[in-house]
Structure 1
Amino acid sequence: MPRTQKERNEQTRRALLDAGSSLLREVGYARTSVAQITQRANRAHGTFYLHFESKRDLVSVLLDDMADEARENIREIWSTAPTVDAIWLGVRAFLARITPNRSLWLLLEEVVALEEDAAPLRSRLRQQYVAPILRGIQNRSDELPPPVPNLELLADLVTSMSLYFARTGNLPASPEETALHITVVWCKAVGQPITEKDLDRLRAMFPTE
């Protein structure tokens, strides 16, 4: 059946995103032009501005898509798994999804370095990760002891650790062990009981060589 205009527009937008993503990762922000993106996407130059305001806007969409995927995956985990397991599985999934996209984080740093007014892009993206983590902390059981006074600060700390590890690739241990350390910090801060039995159970889920 013939495609609708909406479907054609979405296909063009997706082609531009894919072309932009590959070019930006290959040669960087400064050396990528809109003309190169449209040429690789096999689209007319003017179509770019029907979908994006600028090259930076395309980068912002790529980063938003990455954040959306990570949040959706964590949301599914937290809706089904036991509390301690869910924290660990969520953090591990978070690291697993954004670590392979390290090039996008490096791209963001290049954009901020080249364009002074791009700094809010980093802050907005960071908040996209802080918000769901904060909701996860706030949704703890009512039977738990009172949490730390500033839950947003805790969410920001957890996000900072995770993003630093993902962006730099400098995990202090395996992704599973790193996620376990963050889980312990999280549980202790909010008063979530975590026992040696819990830790043993989680370590039993680590992949074997």
Structure 2
Amino acid sequence: MATQKERNAETRRRLLSAAREVFAEKGYAPATVADIVKCAGRSHGSFYLHFTNKEAVLRALLEDAMAQVAIESKTLWRWDEPGASVRKTVRRFIEEFGEDRDLWLLLDQRSSIEPVFKELSDQWFQRLAGGIAREMVATETPGLLRGLDPEILAQVFAAMLSDSTRAAYQEGYSWTGDEMADEISSIWSRTLGYTEMTASAEDGATRPANRRRRRTPDR
């Protein structure tokens, strides 16, 4: 028999899953708490035991997605293989963004009109940049180009990764995840002096880091 703690955890999971489904189907603004509890098969009382309002539900969904990206990135980064780690980390970020694209794009929408989500978006960006900076320090960035400030560079890398991934999903560019990962990780690795080659995730082959694929947006 499930304990009360387990039942509460299951109720929270159902509410979060239902909220995500409702937001995707109806849109965030029109969605109501009543819609969420109906979809989850739970009561209003159960909802308010876990969340104060639908804003709190969305925030919880976003925080879970952010935490997952952070965990994945940390486990993929190896100090003894920095070049390969950059490629794997960038590729996994792109995959995680794709898996939760509905939440990331909803964050973009809400952060433009609601201060609470703008603050969350800013916090996430700083967390992303901070993680990149820590890994740069941990791997001792052997060939960091002269004159570059590591902290500023981490901000630039974070913007490059998050903005290009967002654009790919929002604008419908024809890049594949592997093509994006190759180009971004090549720039990072060359700037940091990790490697002159970028490893392919599929077959272990290498290609020159300065090779460029020309793609045009699907309009």
The aligned counterpart of 1:79 is 78
The aligned counterpart of 2:37 is 38
Cα distance between partner residues in 2 of 1:189 and 1:53: 46
The aligned counterpart of 2:193 is 191
Query: After TM superposition, which residue ranges in structure 1, 4 or more long, deviate above 6 angstroms?
Result: none
The aligned counterpart of 2:178 is 176
Cα distance between partner residues in 2 of 1:23 and 1:81: 44
Report if the CA contact (8 A) 2:79-2:139 is conserved. Answer: no
Q: CA deviation at 1:95?
A: 0.5
Q: Taking structure 1 as reference, are residues 167 and 27 closer, same or farther at Cα in structure 2, changes over 3 Å only?
A: farther
Report if the CA contact (8 A) 2:37-2:47 is conserved. Answer: yes
The aligned counterpart of 1:98 is 97
Map 1:130-145 → 2, pairs under 5 A = 130-141=129-140, 144-145=142-143
Q: Taking structure 1 as reference, are residues 11 and 202 closer, same or farther at Cα in structure 2, changes over 3 Å only?
A: same
* Larger RCO: 1 or 2 (CA < 8 Å, sep 6+): 1
Cα distance between partner residues in 2 of 1:164 and 1:3: 44
Map 1:10-29 → 2, pairs under 5 A = 10-29=9-28
Q: Taking structure 1 as reference, are residues 130 and 13 closer, same or farther at Cα in structure 2, changes over 3 Å only?
A: same
What's the TM-score, normalizing by structure 1?
0.84
| Stretch deviating more after TM superposition (170-179 or 96-105) | 170-179
Deviations 1:39-89 (A, max 9, x none): 111111122222122211211111111122222222221138722111001
Deviations 1:154-185 (A, max 9, x none): 22222222222332325573222221222222
The aligned counterpart of 2:166 is 167
Q: Which amino acid aligns with 1:89?
A: K
Report if the CA contact (8 A) 1:63-1:125 is conserved. Answer: no
Please list every run of 5 or more consecutive structure 2 residues that lacks an aligned counterpart in the other structure.
Answer: 206-219
Cα-Cα RMSD: 2.4
Cα distance between partner residues in 2 of 1:184 and 1:163: 16
Q: Taking structure 1 as reference, are residues 172 and 165 closer, same or farther at Cα in structure 2, changes over 3 Å only?
A: farther
Cα distance between partner residues in 1 of 2:200 and 2:40: 44
Cα distance between partner residues in 2 of 1:165 and 1:100: 16
Q: Which amino acid aligns with 2:41?
A: N
Deviations 1:71-110 (A, max 9, x none): 2222221138722111001101110111232211221133
Q: Taking structure 1 as reference, are residues 65 and 81 closer, same or farther at Cα in structure 2, changes over 3 Å only?
A: farther
The number of aligned residues is 200
Tell me the SS of whatever aligns to 2:2: coil
Please list every run of 5 or more consecutive structure 1 residues that lacks an aligned counterpart in the other structure.
Answer: none
Q: Taking structure 1 as reference, are residues 205 and 145 closer, same or farther at Cα in structure 2, changes over 3 Å only?
A: closer
Tell me the SS of whatever aligns to 2:133: helix
| Stretch deviating more after TM superposition (8-17 or 174-183) | 174-183
Q: CA deviation at 1:113?
A: 3.8
Greater helix share, structure number = 1
Cα distance between partner residues in 1 of 2:91 and 2:157: 12
What's the TM-score, normalizing by structure 2?
0.80
Cα distance between partner residues in 1 of 2:187 and 2:55: 36
Percent identity of the aligned residues?
28
Cα distance between partner residues in 2 of 1:138 and 1:80: 10
Report if the CA contact (8 A) 2:90-2:181 is conserved. Answer: yes
